[in-house]
Amino acid sequence: SAELTQESSLSVALGQTVSITCQGGTLRDYFTSWYQQRPGQAPVLVMYGTKRRPSGIPDRFSGASVGGIVSLTITAAQVEDEAEYFCSSPDKSGNSVLFGGGTKLTVL
């Protein structure tokens, strides 16, 4: 598939753990990136190289890949983690970039 598929929405209780998944595209061939976007703000990179956290991103964010399904896990979710999350990976050619449709995360 040339698309990346994510859950459209998820919710998590404050302090609990949630995983957002990304499937399709070329996830088996390339590393995946994840972006957090709060309303009215620009996206922020929270994970790259599938498992690498940029400086300044809390260690409650982690990434994994199992069987071609990539996930972003937030352990002990905080109120400030409520946002939309997008996965991204190159397309088959390696030149273009695919983005998932986004997952709106609500922290209850």
Partner 1 sequence: QVQLEESGGGFVKPGGSLRLACVASGLVFRESYMAWVRQSAGRGPECISYISGNGEDIYYRESVKGRFTISRDNTNDSVFLEGSDLTVEDTAIYYCATVKWEGGVSFHSWGQGTVVNVSS
Contacts of 102 (CB under 8 A, 6+ apart): 6, 8, 37, 84, 85, 86
Smallest distance, partner 1 to C-beta of residue 106, A = 17
Cβ 44 to partner 1, closest distance in Å? Answer: 7
Q: Which residues bind partner 1 (CB under 8 A)?
A: 30-33, 35, 41-45, 48-50, 54, 86, 88-90, 95-97, 99-102
Judged by beta carbon, residue 61 or residue 76, the one nearer partner 1 is 61
| Residues in contact with 103: Cβ distance below 8 Å, sequence separation at least 6, in sequence order | 6, 7, 8, 9, 10, 20, 84, 85, 86
- Shortest distance (Å) from residue 13 CB to partner 1: 26
Residue with Cβ nearer partner 1 (37 or 75) = 37
**Residue 105 tokens, joined:** 């995360």
